[in-house]
Structure 1
Amino acid sequence: MESSQPLTLIGRVREVIRYKHYSIRTECSYVEWVRRFVAFHGRKHPREMGAAEVRAFLSHLAADLNVAASTHQQALSALLFLYREVLGLELPWLNDLDRPKKPKRVPVVLSRAEVERLLAVLQGTHALMARLLYGTGMRLMECVRLRVKDVDFERHELTVRDGKGGKDRRTMLPLSLVVELQAHLGRVRALWEADRVAGRAGVQMPEALARKYPAAPASWGWFWAFPARSLSVDPRSGIERRHHTHEQALQRAIKQGLPGAGIAKPASTHTLRHSFATHLLESGYDIRTVQELLGHSDVSTTMIYTHVLNRGGRGVVSPLDAVR
């Protein structure tokens, strides 16, 4: 029986986000920003506030908390969603809000030797996942969300589902990882079989596929390629099931491995994706091919890697090097 209680503001925000099929990460982020906005103004309802209150909150983030431009933009996006999509208010001042200019950064890229040293200090599943990130150009979340059915050993290909922008794409499966990945999936299958024997709920499915194909959540093909060791409660359905491994585990492993690899650069999991693109371009592959493998909508996004191809100063030889 459905509750007759009216939804709270936060409940309404969640309802609209889920109706639009936004990710759970976006939901958590937007809900947190709405809560902070309301708390900042003494718990006044957003309908009672306007441009002045929104600008005051955004100014507080920039001037008092000194947040990054990307964080500032995320907060603004959450408030725009609140007023336009949740409250249904199309107010002229929403389009006049100042958007912070994101600084242009050159991506951190590891040399081939640095990648080799980093991969050598990683162990177990973390080593395999890091090799996949560097060998395929996948983003971190694309890797941890990989399903068994999307690994094609015969075609040596991976299918990335619901990547950034909700797009699917295909990328290569490195030949050097075939045996290791097959052995890993053999161990994962034992875990899947144990879950089936224990009668545990199947894995989370995208959108309404669980209703359309009731047996799919418990099938081997839909199981995570990198499942978590323990069960967890799905925040949306409340069902206890096995989720994919947490992305922070690999992030920590790479951060902890940098000193042992003798790398002083602020590298991360995304650095392996940057290195994948840069090393392909260095090897002479066409930038359009690299764009397709990365899943970029516009080639201009891929062009950033051409800036790191030339060694220091656009490849210009310093006059100091000509002085004896």
Structure 2
Amino acid sequence: MIFLSSLSVAPESFCEKTSKWCLSLHNPQSHEILYKNTAQGFAMSSPFIQALRDHMRARHYSKRTEKTYIYWTIFYIRFNNLSHPNDLSSRDIVRFLEYLVVERNVTASTQKTALNALIYLHRQFLGWDEAQLQLGAFRRASKPKNSPLYCPVMKSKQYFAIYRESTCYAHT
């Protein structure tokens, strides 16, 4: 059996073949790649990740949700130095979510997706109760403020008058 503590982390690298960024974990004893994000999808021989995948499939989660939740679970485990999620606390979840906002500059929807994946991991898969998952207040990603394009009525009338004049002279 392979334990998470016996794995070493390969840095993010750009895969020329798939033109994507790849994350990988590997076992230094056997040099077996345990996880690789490729164009074909996620492949992991870790018993923990396989059990998580089986748990989601038994509950009929979509393949895309499964892939996303496993990605965020592995990212979370890597962030916490390959510690088992049962050995971590809610403070570690908050620290990870704040890291995503501050260091990785993710959007609000990305942070929510990561949060949903971690809530699923801890509540549904690991069986944590509500008391263990009290996250409290943490820094959330802000939604970008889209300022509406403001065009006063007089300016638009002037623009269309100029446009009409230029098209009228072009046809004569």
* 1:103 and 2:143 are equivalent in the alignment: yes
Letter in 1 for 2:86: R
8 Å contact kept, 2:98–2:139: no
User: Of 107, 117, 120, which residue of structure 2 is paired with 1:78?
Assistant: 117
TM-score of the superposed pair, with normalisation by structure 1? 0.31
Letter in 1 for 2:52: V
Q: Find the aligned partners of 2:86 and 2:114 in 1 and give their Cα distance.
A: 18
8 Å contact kept, 1:70–1:102: no
Q: Find the aligned partners of 2:97 and 2:56 in 1 and give their Cα distance.
A: 22
Match of 2:155 in 1: 320
CA displacement at 1:104 relative to structure 2: 6.9
User: Of 99, 103, 109, which residue of structure 2 is paired with 1:60?
Assistant: 99
User: Which structure exhibits the higher relative contact order, with contacts defined as CA atoms closer than 8 Å and separated by 6 or more residues?
Assistant: 1
How big is each residue's C-alpha offset from its partner over 1:232-254, in whole Å with a ceiling of 9 and x where there is no partner? Answer: xxxxxxxxxxxxxxxxxxxxxxx
Q: CA RMSD in A?
A: 2.9
Rate the CA distance shift 1:25–1:32 in 2: closer, same or farther, 3 A. Answer: same
Report the secondary structure of 2:121's partner residue.
Answer: helix
Structure 2 unaligned blocks of 5 or more? 1-45, 162-172
Q: Find the aligned partners of 1:78 and 1:49 in 2 and give their Cα distance.
A: 15
Q: Find the aligned partners of 2:51 and 2:142 in 1 and give their Cα distance.
A: 31
User: Which structure has more strand as a fraction of its residues?
Assistant: 2
8 Å contact kept, 2:107–2:143: no
CA displacement at 1:94 relative to structure 2: 2.6
Q: Find the aligned partners of 1:320 and 1:73 in 2 and give their Cα distance.
A: 41
User: Which structure has more helix as a fraction of its residues?
Assistant: 1
How big is each residue's C-alpha offset from its partner over 1:292-311, in whole Å with a ceiling of 9 and x where there is no partner? Answer: xxxxxxxxxxxxxxxx9xxx
Match of 1:35 in 2: 74
CA displacement at 1:99 relative to structure 2: 7.5
CA displacement at 1:51 relative to structure 2: 1.3
* 1:25 and 2:69 are equivalent in the alignment: no
CA displacement at 1:23 relative to structure 2: 0.5
CA displacement at 1:53 relative to structure 2: 0.8
| Count of matched residue positions in the alignment of Structure 1 and Structure 2 | 112
Q: Find the aligned partners of 1:73 and 1:21 in 2 and give their Cα distance.
A: 21
CA displacement at 1:11 relative to structure 2: 1.6
Rate the CA distance shift 1:14–1:321 in 2: closer, same or farther, 3 A. Answer: closer
Rate the CA distance shift 1:36–1:101 in 2: closer, same or farther, 3 A. Answer: closer
Q: Which structure 2 residues correspond to residues 106-145 of structure 1 after superposition, within 5 A?
A: none
CA displacement at 1:8 relative to structure 2: 2.2
CA displacement at 1:92 relative to structure 2: 2.5
8 Å contact kept, 1:33–1:78: yes
Rate the CA distance shift 1:321–1:40 in 2: closer, same or farther, 3 A. Answer: closer
8 Å contact kept, 2:107–2:141: no
Match of 1:174 in 2: none
Q: Find the aligned partners of 2:117 and 2:145 in 1 and give their Cα distance.
A: 24
Q: Which structure 2 residues correspond to residues 165-314 of structure 1 after superposition, within 5 A?
A: none
How big is each residue's C-alpha offset from its partner over 1:159-212, in whole Å with a ceiling of 9 and x where there is no partner? Answer: xxxxxxxxxxxxxxxxxxxxxxxxxxxxxxxxxxxxxxxxxxxxxxxxxxxxxx
Give runs of ≥4 in structure 1 deviating > 3 Å. Answer: 95-102, 319-324
CA displacement at 1:105 relative to structure 2: 7.2
| Identical columns (%) | 29
Structure 1 unaligned blocks of 5 or more? 1-6, 107-307
